[in-house]
Structure 1
Amino acid sequence: MRNILVVEDSPLVLKILEHLFRQEPELQPVFCASLAEAELMLDTSAGLFFAALVDLNLPDAPNGEVVDLVLRYRVPCIVLSGSYNEQRRDELLLKGVVDYVLKESQHSYEYAFRLIHRLESNCQVKILVAEDSDATRHFIHRVLTPHLYQVLEARDGNEALRLLQEQPDIDLLLVDHSMPGLSGFELVKVLRQQMKRHDLIILGLSADTKGSLSAMFIKHGADDFLRKPFCPEELNCRVMSTLERRDLVRALKQAAQFDSLTGLYNRRAFYEQGIAQFRLALRNAQPLSVAMLDLDLFKSINDQYGHASGDLALAGFARAFQAALPDALLGRLGGEEFALVSSLDSGALVEILERLRAACAQLKYAVGAPPLSFSAGLYHGPPEDLESLLHQADTRLYQAKHQGRGCTVAYDATRAC
């Protein structure tokens, strides 16, 4: 739960904000209608607020005094204004407000809420500013800090490269084109071509007037380009949009690889990861174990207790599955069918599966439902190929089903030899 200070006197705007807050249960608004109320609230409880939405012109603070008040208490401040003044906007941004939002439409208020959510994720974002000009570097630092980014600085390309090697969790690099030592172009090439840092967002910077410079930067591997001098708002918009684009790509990759209900690898990703694991085991002449697992009588769970209970059973089983085999490759192949690849031998895996079976029997997924049970087929042998071993495991799973379910049938080809 995040507490948001809202300082606003307009009944219409308050009505809109109240409606939006009702759709955001993780955000708890505290409303004030004047500078005096806000001052009292901040004086007693400033540390409780994650951010503030403030009206620029209040009856007892017509010249934006409330902004200075909020910033004095180091609370991230998003300004709402009924009129646009470019000079005023630039002054506020340089003071350290998060953004200056016009009260134009529903979209404006939704954008303000987007900024609040962005602040939450920004706390985990590391940005490196590689710029040889002290003035420009400090300006960028001052513009980015109100957004709660973790900002690092480098005075040249060599220092930037060292920091990137020491801190691989840096998310975004702002890099000047012309720097002593390693230039911006050269640094981008090293990062993309030699270090394979394709996950790093790179924004190029330059005061050069050549129109081809931005294209050259992007062709070398940068994601975007900013021509100096730039206004604070442009920098913030570029940084925010590239981070949101990165997050969207990550979400798409997550959806493409993982089963949404259980969080396990889906069939396609399980096969991709499994094939890579088999290749490694083949090079090392290391046998592997493959198992197929199937929840017993799962159709009757859905029919008698409903699909919501079936989903709870699948999700609960997946959590127990991951807890029992944290180092194995696990996947949901579809429906109630699961699979694993492990370097453990058959004896060790049979013991783990028995403990997993006991844990599953304790899971609660529907009132009055029988204990959750699964059958398993296990094959341990040379890593010929994933499909062959899965077929061998599936054959043993079929045998387990015919032996009465709730058991594991295992075969160890290394012992048979």
Structure 2
Amino acid sequence: MKTVLVIEDSAIVVKVLRHILARSTMIQPVYAASLAEAQKLVGSGDYQFFAALVDLSLPDAPGGEVVDYTLSQKLPTVVFTGSLDERTRETLLAKGIVDYVTKEGRFSYEYALAVLHRLIKNQKVKVLVVEDSSTQRKFISGLLRLQLYQVVEAENGVDAIKVLLANPDTKILITDYHMPRMDGFELIKTIRGKYEKSNLIIIGLSSEGEGSLSAKFIKIGANDFLRKPFNHEEFVCRLSHHVEFIELIEQVRDAACRDELTGCYNRKYFFEQGAILRDKAVQSGAPISVAVIDLDNFKSINERYGHDFGNLVMQRVAGNLNQSFERFLLARAGGQEFFALLPGLGNERAMAFVDRVRELVEEQPECFGDESVSITFSAGVTSELAEDIDEMLSQASVCLHRAKDAGGDIVMGDD
């Protein structure tokens, strides 16, 4: 969770904020009622603040001095205010605040929370800015960095393709129209041959006066278009809208790859990604291991305590396995069985790792009333590459059967 400094002197507003912010699993608010109190909190060193949500007018800072202070502390700042004239708005945006929110009802507070959430998520979103004017490129990149986006830059379409290939995790591309070597139209046409609209958002920019230019951008594959000079807030809002669209698509795709009960990846995803990881290991000559994990006596747990308890046990064990195999690939194969792929580990190291996970799972028994139910698993591990991922799983299953024949609660590997 990220710690956010909330500076607000109104008891009523603080009450509303506490109620709304308490619902967030992403932020931990720390409250101050004045600039002096905020300075004391920051100066104490007890908190590593991520951002600030501040009231524009405080008893000891009636002229908005609190904004200057939080910005001087390099804190992305969201401003709360009862009213805002155009001059004050322009002044605040020029200073470099993230956003401002007028206290006009519950939605305003919900919006403030959404802005803070967006800032946290933006840190993982990479944006490529393609603009031949260094001044414009710097301006656009500056707006993006205020919102905590990762920013990469290119001076023209040809360079943009090189940068995009070097940064395959780019989610958004913002491109000007007129550029040397390759203009915005040609760039979009080239890119759309590889990237779908749901994989890479493209926003076109131009200062051209032609009214149909926006339609032309959209028709060749852009998701959106803005005419320069554009409104600061419109730019940020449209960008947020598109990022949220991509995140929604990713959530849907991810859900299709997950086991419904446990949240682990499913068999289909394991075979797809496992084949890719295995092929990379073959090409690079790096070690890779496959493990088949089977919960011991899980059928008897269902029969004795019921399927509801069995499902609870499965979910908790899966959660422990997911956490332990976080840097590897884990999937629920079905029933009480899990598959794991461990790139970079040979048989001996993979066996030792899986055995340590086995010990951790066994150290966390489940309780049914006053009764403690110990959970154990057996596992088979192979590092023989074989013909494909399916054959590797078959070899790991042979090792698993040896472990079961030995009484279970043990990890066995290649002979």
Counterpart amino acid of 1:364? Answer: E
Counterpart mapping for 1:22-41 below 5 A: 22-24=22-24, 27-41=27-41
Corresponding residue number in structure 1 for 2:363:
364
Distance apart, 1:205 and its partner CA: 0.8
Matched residue, 1:214: 214
8 Å Cα contact 1:130-1:160 kept in structure 2: yes
Match of 2:171 in 1: 171
How far is 1:2 from its partner?
A: 3.0
- Output the amino acid matched with 1:365: Q
Q: Secondary structure at the match of 2:192?
A: helix
- C-alpha displacement at 1:179, in angstroms? 1.4
Contact map agreement 2:262 2:314 (CA 8 A) in 1 = no
The question of whether the paired residues in 2 share the 8 Å contact of 1:320 and 1:360 is answered with: no
The answer for the alignment partner of 2:69 in structure 1 is: 69
2:149 corresponds to 1:145:
no
User: How far 1:126 sits from its partner (Å)?
Assistant: 2.8
What is residue 315 of structure 2 aligned with on the other side?
311
1:226 is paired with a residue whose SS is strand
For residues 202 and 399 of structure 1, do their structure 2 counterparts lie closer, same or farther at Cα, with a shift above 3 Å needed?
A: same
Look up the SS of the partner of 1:124 in the other structure.
coil
Partner of 1:225: 225
Q: Distance in 2 between matches of 1:42 and 1:277?
A: 46
Deviations 1:216-242, CA, capped at 9 Å, x for gaps: 223323222212221110111112221
Partner of residue 286, structure 2? none
CA 1:195 to 1:256, structure 2 compared with 1: closer, same or farther past 3 Å? Answer: closer
Which residue in 2 is equivalent to 1:83?
A: 83
Instruction: Name the stretch that deviates more: 398-407 or 43-52.
Output: 398-407
- Tell me the equivalent position of 2:123: 123
Give the match for residue 94 of structure 1.
94
Distance 1:352 1:129, change over 3 A: closer
What is the Cα deviation at residue 5 of structure 1? 2.0
1:365-403 per-residue CA deviation (whole Å, 9 max, x = no partner) reads: 32543451348799x9986996x9989999999999899
Would the aligned equivalents of 1:361 and 1:371 in 2 still touch at CA under 8 Å? no
1:213 Cα deviation from its structure 2 partner: 2.3
Q: How does 1:123-272 map to 2 (within 5 A)?
A: 123-193=123-193, 199-259=199-259, 264-270=264-270, 272=272
Q: Report if the CA contact (8 A) 1:357-1:374 is conserved.
A: no
Per the alignment, do residues 95 and 47 of structure 1 end up closer, same or farther by CA in structure 2, a change over 3 Å counting? farther
**1:284 counterpart residue number:** none
Where in structure 2 are the equivalents of 1:299-378 lying within 5 Å? 299-302=299-302, 303-304=304-305, 306-307=309-310, 308-316=312-320, 331-339=331-339, 356=354, 360=358, 363-366=362-365, 368-370=372-374, 372-374=376-378
**Cα deviations by residue, 1:70-103 (Å, 9 ceiling, x for unpaired):** 2233221101111243343233122201001111
Aligned to 2:295: 295
CA contact (8 A) 1:46 1:75 kept: no
Alpha-carbon distance change, 195 to 55 in structure 1, aligned in 2, over 3 angstroms: closer
User: Counterparts of 1:95-110 in structure 2 under 5 Å?
Assistant: 95-110=95-110
Counterpart AA for 1:100: Y
Alignment check: 8 A CA contact 1:377 1:395 kept: no
Identity of aligned residues (%): 42
> Which residues in structure 2 correspond to 1:380-391 (within 5 Å)?
none
Q: 1:34 to 1:177 in 2, by over 3 A?
A: same
Q: With the length of structure 1 as denominator, give the TM-score of the two structures.
A: 0.75
Cα 1:164–1:376 change in 2 (3 A) is: closer
Gaps of 5+ in 1: 282-288, 413-417
Measure, in 2, the Cα distance between the counterparts of 1:51 and 1:63: 21
Q: Across the two proteins, how many residue pairs are aligned to each other?
A: 400
1:185 aligned counterpart, secondary structure: helix
Equivalent-residue separation in structure 2 for 1:47 and 1:291 (angstroms): 42
* Residue 331 of structure 1, CA deviation: 3.2
Residue by residue over 1:242-296, the C-alpha shift from the partner in whole angstroms, topping out at 9 and shown as x without a partner, is: 1222222222222211336656431333455578899999xxxxxxx99875423
Show structure 2 runs of 5+ residues with no match.
282-288, 367-371
CA contact (8 A) 2:296 2:375 kept: no
